[in-house]
A and B are shown apart, each in its own frame.
Chain A
Amino acid sequence: MLAFAADVNPIVLLLPVAGGRFMGRAIEKPAARDYILRERVACDVTQGYRRQPTAEGGCMRLHGSGQGVRGAVVACLVLVVSGCANLGAVRDFASTSSDAVQYSHLVSAYAGTPTRLKRYEPQSQWPELDRQTTEREGQRERLLLRQKLIQEYMDALGQLAADDLATYDNQLDTLGAAVKNAKFADQNEAAAFSAVSKLLVSAVTDRWRQGKLVGLIEQTEAPFQTVMGAMVTIVEKDFGSDVANERVALDKYYTTLQREGRDPAGLAALAEWREMRDGQLRERESAISSYTTVLKTIAAGHHKLYESRHELSKPEIKAEIHTYTRRLKEASTAIARL
C-alpha cells in the first residue's frame, strides 16, 4: 500500500497534514502517476470547459478555514513542484479554434457554384459547368482535410495544455494517406501538412502530456503557418473570386430579363428574386470575411503562443491569448448569425 511509484515526486510526500487527504488518495491509487496528473488538472481552478471536475471538493473547499488556507498553500506548492502550469488561456484558445475552424459551408458552396450557375446560363453552357462541378467535387476532400488537420491539432494542443493525453482519431490515418497520395499540388504545403500530421501522431502514440506542449508549439509553428496561409488564400481570394463570378452571372441574367421584359408584374417579381439572390451572395461574402478572420486569428494566435511559449502562464500573456479567443468567438458568432 505504501509502495510509491517511481515517478511520484518525493517532495509531495513530505508535505504535512493538510495535504494528507490528497496524499492519502494519491498513494491509494495503483496508477499513481495518472492520479497525480489528474489531480493537477483538478487543482487548476481557473477556466476551460474541458477542465476535469474537482474530486470531493478539491482545492476550492480548502479556502474556508485556517486549515483550508494551509491546504491551498500546499496545493500551490504541489503545482509548482510538480511543474503543472495553469494554461487555461491556451486551452480556451485551442478549443475555440477547434470549434471555429469546423465551418464546411463555404467549401460546399464553392463546390456547388457551377451547379447554381446553371440557373442563369443557357443549356449550351451546361456541359462545361458539369465538368467544373466534377472537378470541384474532387477537391472537396482535400479542402476539408485542411480544416480537419487544424481541428485535430488544436484539440491536441488543448489536451496537452490541460495535461490530458491527446486522443486518437481515425481521421489521422486519412490525413497521412492524403499526404502520401500527393493530393496537394503545392509541395511546400504538402510538406507542411505532413509535418503537422506527423507531430499529431507522435503526440498520440508517445502519450505526450503538458511537458511536451512547448515542444509541440515550437515544432509546429512553421508548417502550421504554411497550412494556414494556404487556407487563407483559398478562402479569401479563391472563394471570394467564386462569389464575384456568381454575382456577374446573376447580374447578366436578371439585367437581360429586365431589358426584355414588358409585363410590370413580371418585372416586379424579377426584381424581388434578384434581390433575394443578391442577398444570398452578400451572406456568403460575409461568411467568407468572417471565416477569413477566424483563420487569420488562429494563425496569429498560434504565433503568439510560439513567441510566448516559455511564459504561457504569465497573466499578461494570458490576457493577450484571451484577446485572440474573444476575436475568434466574435467571428464565429457572426458566421452563426448568417
Chain B
Amino acid sequence: MPLTSADALSLSKSFRDLSVAIGDFRFAHWDALSEADRKMLEDEEWSILNASSDMVTKAVGLALDESDPAAKKVQGATAAALKAVKTLKDISKVIGVATATVGLAAAVISKDPGAIAKNAKAVFDAATA
C-alpha cells in the first residue's frame, strides 16, 4: 500500500488514539481484569503505540502525493476499533479488537496489500461482533 505522508500521519493518530483508549479501558477495569489479561492488553497497547510511532517515521520520509484508497480502509477499521473499545464493556471483546488491531498495524508496516485487506476486515469484524 503506497502511503502518503498525510496518510501516515493520520494513521499515526488513529493508532495512538486506539492505544490510549485500550489503556483507559485497562485502567477503568483494573480490578475486574486478571493479571494475565492486564498484561495482554498492555502488550497490545505498546504494539499499537509503536505502530503509531512507525507511522510518524513514515510520515517524515514519505511524499505528499495523492492518497491511496487502501489507507482510507485502514483508517475506517481503526475508527471502528476505537468506537468499539470506548463503548464495549466485555473484556474478551476488547481484547479481541486490540489483538486484531495489532495484526492490522503489523500488516501496514509490512506494506502487504493482501494482509492489510485481510486484517482490516478482521478489525471490522471484531469491532462489530
Residue B1 lies at the interface, judged by CB distance under 8 Å to chain A: no
Does A122 lie within 8 Å of B46, measured CB to CB? Answer: yes
Choose from A124, A143, A230, A252 the contact partner of B45 (Cβ within 8 Å): A252
Q: Mark B17-49, 1 if CB is under 8 A from A, else 0.
A: 001100100010010000000000011011101
Report the Cα distance A255→B22, complex, angstroms: 13
Contact partner, B43, options A122, A132, A136, Cβ 8 Å = A122
Q: Which of A23-31, A92-100, A234-242, A328-336 contacts B (4 or more CB under 8 A)?
A: A234-242
A238 CA / B49 CA spacing, docked (Å): 15
Which of B12, B20, B53, B59 touches A117 (beta carbons < 8 Å)?
B53
Which residue on chain B has the smallest CB distance to residue A142? B61
B interface secondary structure, majority: helix
Q: Which residues of A contact B49 (CB under 8 A)?
A: 245, 248-249, 252
State in angstroms the CA–CA spacing of A16 and B27 once bound together. Answer: 89
Within 8 Å by CB of A244, from B16, B23, B61, B64, lies B16
Q: Cβ of A132 and Cβ of B50 under 8 Å apart?
A: yes
A187 to B53, CA, bound (A): 24
Q: Is A62 an interface residue (CB 8 A)?
A: no
How far apart sit A233 and B4, CA to CA, in the bound complex (Å)?
13
Q: How far is the CA of A251 from the CA of B19 in the complex (A)?
A: 11
- CB within 8 A of A135: which of B9, B42, B57? B57
Q: Which of A110-126 contact B (CB under 8 A)?
A: 110, 113-114, 117, 121-122, 124-125
Q: Are A186 and B16 in contact (CB under 8 A)?
A: no
Q: Does A263 contact B (CB under 8 A)?
A: no
Q: A139-B60, A188-B64 are in contact. Are A238 and B9 (CB under 8 A)?
A: yes
Contact B20 A110 (CB under 8 A): no
- Bound state CA distance, A185 and B60, in angstroms? 10
Please report the C-alpha to C-alpha distance between residue A125 and residue B53 in the assembled complex, in whole angstroms.
12
Whether A76 sits at the interface, judged by CB under 8 Å, is: no
Interface membership of A310, Cβ < 8 A: no
* A237 to B10 CA separation, bound complex (whole angstroms): 10
Interface size class of B (residues with CB under 8 A): 20 to 34
Near B by CB (< 8 A), chain A positions 224-272 give 230, 233-234, 237-238, 241-242, 244-245, 248-249, 251-252, 255-256, 259
B56 at the interface (CB under 8 A from A): yes
In the complex, how many angstroms separate the beta carbon of B38 from the nearest chain A beta carbon? 9
CB nearest to B109 among chain A residues:
A128
Q: Do A241 and B54 have beta carbons less than 8 Å apart?
A: no
Question: Contact at B56–A241, with CB atoms within 8 Å?
Answer: yes
| Contact A114:B60 (CB < 8 A) given known A241-B9, A255-B27 | no
Tell me the minimal C-beta distance from A205 to chain B in angstroms.
31
Contact yes or no, A245 B60, CB < 8 A: no
**Contact in complex: B62, A113 (CB < 8 Å):** no
A217 interface residue (CB < 8 Å to B): no
> Contact between B42 and A125 (Cβ–Cβ < 8 Å)?
no
Report B46-98 residues with CB < 8 Å from chain A CB: 46-47, 49-50, 52-54, 56-57, 59-65
A113 to B53, CA, bound (A): 9
B61 touches A139 (CB 8 A): yes
Does A124 contact B43, Cβ atoms closer than 8 Å? yes
Chain B residues engaging chain A, CB cutoff 8 angstroms: 5, 9, 12-13, 16, 19-20, 23, 27, 30, 42-43, 45-47, 49-50, 52-54, 56-57, 59-65
**Sampled A-B contacts (28; CB under 8 Å):** A122-B42, A122-B46, A124-B43, A125-B47, A125-B50, A128-B47, A128-B54, A129-B50, A129-B53, A132-B53, A186-B5, A186-B63, A187-B63, A230-B64, A233-B5, A237-B9, A238-B9, A238-B59, A241-B12, A245-B52, A245-B53, A248-B16, A248-B49, A252-B19, A252-B42, A255-B27, A256-B42, A259-B30
Besides the known contacts A241-B13, A255-B23, 7 further A-B residue pairs in the complex with CB atoms under 8 A apart: A121-B46, A132-B53, A188-B64, A238-B60, A245-B56, A248-B23, A259-B27
Q: Which A residues lie at the B interface, using CB under 8 A?
A: 110, 113-114, 117, 121-122, 124-125, 128-129, 132, 135-136, 139, 143, 185-189, 230, 233-234, 237-238, 241-242, 244-245, 248-249, 251-252, 255-256, 259
